[in-house]
Structures are given as structure tokens and as C-alpha cells.
Amino acid sequence: MLTLRNKYTAATLIVAVMFMGLGLSGCCTKRQLDELGAEVRDLKTQNLTTQQIVARMDSTIVAGADANNKLRNDVSITVSDLQRQMDMLLENYNQLLAQIQQLNLQPVTHVIRSSPGAQEPTSATVTQEEPGTQTQAPVEPPRIDCGAAYDESFILVRQGEYDRAIENFDNYIAQCPGHESVEFAYYWLGECYYAQEKYVDAINMFEYLLENYKSSVKASSALYKVGRSQQELGKVDQAKATYQRVIDDYPGSLEDSQARERLKDLQ
């Protein structure tokens, strides 16, 4: 197949051959020769113009190919950088997780003692009391590190080890009933049961949190999860009512928008 440049070159040669043929036959007039000469010149001009256009097209195509290659290389480099950054973040996360677990397993070696000469408290200390006074049983301190116990239980949840997390959280709550994170322990217990499809147990945990820690930051999430558990149990009417409570009690929250979507699905 002829290219544009070859086509116009061939056309020029054909006209030249015609011109020679007419000259050899000796039957052409001067006017005809002038006309043919003008046509040849026009064809030469068109041929030159076409060649210039084709050259520009070739340059454009080459430039476009170069630009595409550069863009492809840039995209490849960007993707590689992002992947490398993600790998670094994941490695840092795993290192941090390992450090947290290691800290939780380390025994307490630094003990703050009272000033010299002060009496060390013991569980067998006997005090003299006036007759008729009532003796109060001493409050035993927790036998575990409450903060470490909560952190370890939470890590087990994130790792998907729900049975161990439930056991650890139960022990944590029993040993540290007044700890600042107990309300969150009840929430994560509910999440563990929900992940195991034990929806009745999950509802019990979430409702306990709602009844005893009404101002908890996890209240909206707990109430929404009650509705999700009811929906999973096939209690559609109860789920609808719970989702409406979420909308009414926690407007503008993430759970508000989630509850609205669930209500649309249940219509």
C-alpha cells in the first residue's frame, strides 16, 4: 500500500511521462504545453505541501508516542512509590504492634516505695478500734495491670481471635471493675459476639453499655449494632424501631446515615 508521500511522487512521474509522450508525438500546441507545465508545477507544490504535512504528522506521532511512554513511566514510578510507602507503613505498624505486645508481657520491675521509716502496708495489719465501731474490710487492689490487660484484649479483637478476646475482657472486667476503659470493654465484647454471629449475646453487651454508660462515646455505635443484630435475627420491626432511635438520638453522626440506609433497605 502506497503512503501519501509515495502517491504524490507517483502522480508527478505520471504527469512527466504524459508530458514526454505528448512531446514525442509532436501533436501538442504551445498552449497545451503551458497548461501541462502549470499542472506539473501545481502537482509539485501540492507534493511538497503534502510532504511537509506528512513530516509534521510523523513528528506529532513520534512526540505523542514519547509523551505516552513518559506518562506510562511516570505512572509506573508513582505506583511503585506508593507500594513502597504502603509496605513501609505496614512494616511500621507490625513493629508497633509487636512492641505493644512485648510491653504487655514485661513484668513490672520499677516499684515506688514509701519514704524511709514508713510502715509497709500488709493485708494482715491489725488496728486498735474503739468498742462499738464497725470494721470495714480492706479493698483489695487489682491483681493485674488493668491498662495492659485491656490493651492485650483489644489487640486480640483486631487479630480476629474472638474467643480469647472474650475470655480476656471478662477477666479484665472482673479484676478492674472501676477502670476507665471498662465501658469500651463491653462494647468490644458485643463486637466479638457479633462477629461470631451470636447476636443475642451481642445485643446483651450493647444494651448493658447503653443502660450503664449513657454518655459513652460508643453509645451511638452500640445502638446501631443492636439494630443490626435484630435485623440479622429476623426481627425486622424491632430493627426499624432501633434504627429510628439512632436517627433521633444521634443526628448527624455516622450511625445516623448508616441507619437511614438500613431503613431504606427494609421498606
- 22-31, 106-115, 185-194, 230-239: range with lowest mean pLDDT: 106-115
pLDDT beyond 90 at 53:
no
More reliable by pLDDT, 113 or 80: 80
- Cα gap 2→8, rounded to integer Å: 10
- Cα gap 145→107, rounded to integer Å: 10
Q: Which amino acid is at 27?
A: C
Phi and psi angles of residue 62, each rounded to the nearest 5 degrees, phi first: -60, -45
User: Mean of the pLDDT values across residues 6-14?
Assistant: 50
> What is the pLDDT, as a whole number, of residue 117?
36
> What is the pLDDT, as a whole number, of residue 113?
36
User: Mean of the pLDDT values across residues 127-133?
Assistant: 48
For the domain spanning 146-266, the CATH number is 1.25.40.10
pLDDT beyond 50 at 86:
yes
More reliable by pLDDT, 113 or 153: 153
- Number of neighbours of residue 146 by Cβ within 10 angstroms: 18
Confidence bin at 167 (pLDDT 50/70/90): very high
pLDDT beyond 90 at 217:
yes
> What is the pLDDT, as a whole number, of residue 6?
52
- Cα gap 89→81, rounded to integer Å: 12
pLDDT beyond 60 at 244:
yes
Confidence bin at 124 (pLDDT 50/70/90): very low
Phi and psi angles of residue 53, each rounded to the nearest 5 degrees, phi first: -65, -45
- Cα gap 261→258, rounded to integer Å: 5
> What is the pLDDT, as a whole number, of residue 178?
92
- 21-25, 34-38, 39-43: range with lowest mean pLDDT: 21-25
More reliable by pLDDT, 19 or 180: 180
- Number of neighbours of residue 255 by Cβ within 10 angstroms: 22
For residue 222, how many C-alpha atoms fall within 13 Å in the half-sphere facing its CB? 27
pLDDT beyond 70 at 197:
yes
Q: Give the residue range(s) of CATH 1.25.40.10 domains in the chain.
A: 146-266
- Cα gap 150→104, rounded to integer Å: 10
Query: Looking at residue 127, what DSSP letter applies?
Result: -
N-term to C-term CA, the chain: 66
pLDDT beyond 50 at 57:
yes
Residues in the chain: 267
- Cα gap 256→237, rounded to integer Å: 18
- Cα gap 101→37, rounded to integer Å: 95
Confidence bin at 204 (pLDDT 50/70/90): very high
- 41-45, 153-157, 173-177, 194-198: range with lowest mean pLDDT: 41-45
**Residue burial 64-83, b: 16+ Cβ < 10 Å; e: rest:** eeeeeeeeeeeeeeeeeeee
pTM: 0.50
Could you give the percent of the chain with pLDDT greater than 70? 50
> What is the pLDDT, as a whole number, of residue 56?
73
